[in-house]
Amino acid sequence: MSGLRGIAKAQIWMLTNTIGMIKNEPKLKVVFISTIVFLFWFGSFILFYEGLSFFWQFPLIGPALVDESIYIFSAILFIMLSLSSIIVCYVTYYTSEEVTFLFSKPIDTRIIFFYRFTQSVIFSSWAFLFLGLTFIVAYAIIKGAPFWFYLLLPLYFVSFILLPATIASALILVAVRLIDYRKVKYIIATLLVMGALFLSWYYKKNIGPLFFTKNEAGYFLDNFLYHLRIFKHPLFPGYWMAKSMISSSINNLSEGLFYLAAYAITTLLALQVNWLMAGDTFYTGWLSSRRGKSRHYLPPKRKLFHNLTGFSLFFPRPTAAMITKDIKVFVRDFGQWSQFLIYLAILAIYIFNLRNMPQADGNIYWKMIVTFLNLSATALVLAGFSVRFLYPLMSLEGNKFWILGLAPITFRDLLLQKFIVNCLGILLVSEFLMIATNVTLRAGTSLVYVSCGLAAMVSVGLVGLSIGLGTIYPHFKEDNSAKIVSGFGGTLTFVIALFYVIFIIVLFAVPYFSFEIYGFISRSTFHLMLLTAWIVSLIATAIVGILPLIVGYRKLEQMGF
């Protein structure tokens, strides 16, 4: 138990130091950031509330649709938490240097395991705690849930996030113990890709066509919801949680507690399984991962990325070396490229299923709605993509960052290298998405130009924001990118990125809808508003994307080596 006390004290000291650092920050800065976070949380609550209210107002089927949203919400969230936990547990258990340090101390293996397990739960579920609460509270208000429903919310959240993590943890422990460490990550990636392909095929074959065949409410309920019946399987844990919340919202306390107890008991059983495997299984798997790191590398001329030094034709040799190093680090980090594959799978499914959207050739209102929704979806995906992969870049240089201070490359060149290279990559992705989706939706020429221009501008702003704030709030002692993103700086970057994207899209949506749909303004006024929108958006992009880079550069210059 002394080991547990030592870890607990260390975490308390770290938390105390973090709070102390916040207290030392300027009060205006703390109030500003807190206000932004609160406005984002409140805005997401309003969005969910308005969406559920829209469904609730449907004649006859409104309450059923709202309840179905809980089933879908619980099922998708359970699956996403499980996938996220698999990746995070693998990285947290076997690739972190902190585990090596802890195993060198007289600490029980089970204490080390559950300490890392707790971190995995937090890293994989913090976004759910931030956004999921707004959805459930909005649902409770719409349904007029009794007061004790809100008292059960902590139990709902704790139980909900623990079970996917315990299942993922047990799978990772068994896989690393029984399979070669070097093969586990490739097996996980293959299974994730196969699962994404299967879901895409099932949606295209069974669910997608139902949106556009008939519009009768009865047909929708009988067919569309029929294909989602797997979410209501009695053995699916997500069904228990959804059923508990639905029963509790209509004042059926006994049934609500029954399903919550079933979920909680299953969670305790899964925790017990992890406890049994936390000794020899975890330790022997960790030893296997240590042996897996002593692999034989190919001769330099045969390395896969050796030819990347050809970048020296376009960049100075130190810059080309940094680019090559960043690509190698990314490819060797399973936690990075596995989540990158998930993002690509989501984008591929999104583009692939756009063909099922009804054509908007004869309805200008529908064309505007679909075009700006498509722009919003693309921009939001880019925001999540940039924050997840670009914010940790500077921190992943590690605690030997001082070497860069002695290298033949200036901090200005270092920041510019990371900004330019990643901006080109994000720009290619964003423009490909916008062109592919606009061609699929048959959008007008002017809308294509505007959307592609906005995608380019948003790409610059998001890349500068992520790399800049990642430099302002570095975490050089952490080698887990998920933990780096989960910190204060990562959360702040994500919130600012969402506000920036929403602001830019609304800025252009107002003149288009005012002129094309409602006819409130003349053509000359429309062009004037459009020009103003471009000027304001460029100023916002400079503030969001360029200012953090300047501040980050000045912070690097102030570091002592």
Close Cβ partners of 247 (under 8 Å, ≥ 6 residues apart) = 253, 255, 256, 259
Close Cβ partners of 493 (under 8 Å, ≥ 6 residues apart) = 387, 391, 465, 466, 469, 470
Query: Rounded to an integer, what distance in angstroms lies between the CA atom of residue 400 and that of residue 423?
Result: 26
Sign of the torsion angle spanned by Cα atoms 53, 381, 37, 76? positive
Query: Rounded to an integer, what distance in angstroms lies between the CA atom of residue 552 and that of residue 550?
Result: 5
Query: Rounded to an integer, what distance in angstroms lies between the CA atom of residue 120 and that of residue 142?
Result: 33
Residue with tokens 């999104």: 350
Query: Rounded to an integer, what distance in angstroms lies between the CA atom of residue 451 and that of residue 372?
Result: 8
Sign of the torsion angle spanned by Cα atoms 396, 400, 402, 408? negative
Q: Which helix (H) or strand (E) holds 451?
A: helix 445-472
Query: Rounded to an integer, what distance in angstroms lies between the CA atom of residue 319 and that of residue 404?
Result: 12
**Model confidence pTM above 0.95:** no
Among candidate residues 70, 75, 73, 79, the one with its CA nearest the CA of residue 149: 70
Which two three-digit tokens encode residue 194? 């196969």
Close Cβ partners of 443 (under 8 Å, ≥ 6 residues apart) = 367, 371, 451
Among candidate residues 373, 379, 415, the one with its CA nearest the CA of residue 397: 415
Which two three-digit tokens encode residue 331? 């490819």
443 vs 198, 359, 468, 504, CA distance in Å? 30, 10, 35, 20
Residue with tokens 């921009």: 379
Three-state secondary structure call for residue 358? coil
Which two three-digit tokens encode residue 51? 């969406």
The answer to whether the CB of 554 falls within 8 A of the CB of 415 is no
- Each residue's pLDDT, cut to its tens digit, for the chain (561 residues) gives 567 777 777 777 777 776 776 666 667 666 766 777 777 778 778 878 887 887 787 776 777 778 888 888 888 888 878 877 887 887 788 877 778 888 888 888 888 888 888 888 887 776 666 677 888 888 888 888 888 888 888 888 888 888 888 998 888 888 887 776 566 666 766 776 676 667 666 666 665 555 555 444 445 555 555 556 667 778 888 888 888 888 888 888 888 888 888 888 998 999 988 888 887 888 887 887 766 544 444 444 445 455 554 544 566 676 677 777 777 777 666 656 666 666 666 666 666 665 555 554 556 666 677 777 777 777 877 787 788 778 887 877 766 666 666 666 777 777 887 888 888 878 887 887 777 777 766 666 777 788 888 888 888 888 888 888 888 888 777 666 666 776 677 778 888 888 888 888 888 888 888 887 777 788 888 889 888 988 999 999 989 888 888 888 888 777 655
